[in-house]
Amino acid sequence: MGKTAFIFSGQGAQYVGMGKDLYENFSAARKIFDEADEVTNGKISKLCFEGPDEKLRETVNTQPAILTHSVACYSVLKEEGIVPDIVAGLSLGEYSALVASESLEFREAVPLVQKRGKYMQEAVPIGKGTMAAILGLDREQVLEICKLASTEGIVEAANFNCPGQIVIAGEIAAVNKAVDLAKEKGAKRAVLLTVSAPFHCSLLKPAADNLAKELENVVIKDSKIPVISNVNADFAREGKIVKELLVKQVNSPVLWEDCIKKMVDSGVDTFVEVGPGKVLSSFVKKIDKTLKVTNVENTQSLYSTLEKLGG
């Protein structure tokens, strides 16, 4: 029997209406949304269920909204008796993974990611930084392009998502230059992303420093379920180490492809994407087509996943 990993959605996966049918159909999900409303003065469920979209897209709202939806999905799975052997999450999703592993209390996680979103947004003035996805080039090529483009300013690799899909981040002129160079080098596509800040690069150091201060007041316990960290694609069990990694994560690249490979090396053959969207599922399939992949974001996908996992 292979192991099962739960992987939790990151920013960008949000959509208006997420979690609504789970809220209506499952008391476990309702409890999570109600708890989130309690700590945010009733804002979160309304934002998830009704939007408006432009409000939901603001980083300071997106992060607690995705966390809440993801943990609601997780709590329903848990109630159905499906528990993971290993957990991980993409960037923001790492907080959902820590809640699932009982390292972090959900009611502490909500205001924490809200502040994380705020710090990330404030670290770089709007219009100064951006991100781009580069498809069809390997790591070495992308790192080389960033080096060449850095004559125009800061540009760095931010997300290693899966083979041939790498996201870069930095100052606008430098990112634009890197996009041009990537096209010259034969990238299938090199496109700017509609993001509000250049996440996971050195420009976000001020956000990391602010988050470090915030984390001093947050209890992170040793995890009950093994968690793989974005920063080093390795297991992080001790609360103290997890804190250090969460701070680093803000301005370090996300080694997602390596995280998946680490889980596979640890015996995982089934991945359940928990939370909005199917972005992570598509990454897993690109990393290894033989893996079993399913997702849970609403009642329909929940039942289909339970069927697949024999729950």
Instruction: Tell me which residues are annotated as active site.
Output: 91, 200
DSSP 266-282: TTEEEEEEESS-SHHHH
Buried b (16+ CB within 10 A) or exposed e, 184-197: ebebeebeebebbb
Element (H, E) at 88: strand 86-89
Q: Are 239 and 219 in contact (CB under 8 A)?
A: yes
Q: How many whole angstroms separate alpha carbon 214 and alpha carbon 247? A: 10
| CA pair distance 40, 148, nearest whole angstrom | 44
Cβ pair 85, 226 in contact under 8 A: yes
First to last CA, the chain: 15
Q: How far apart are CA 177 and CA 187, in angstroms?
A: 14
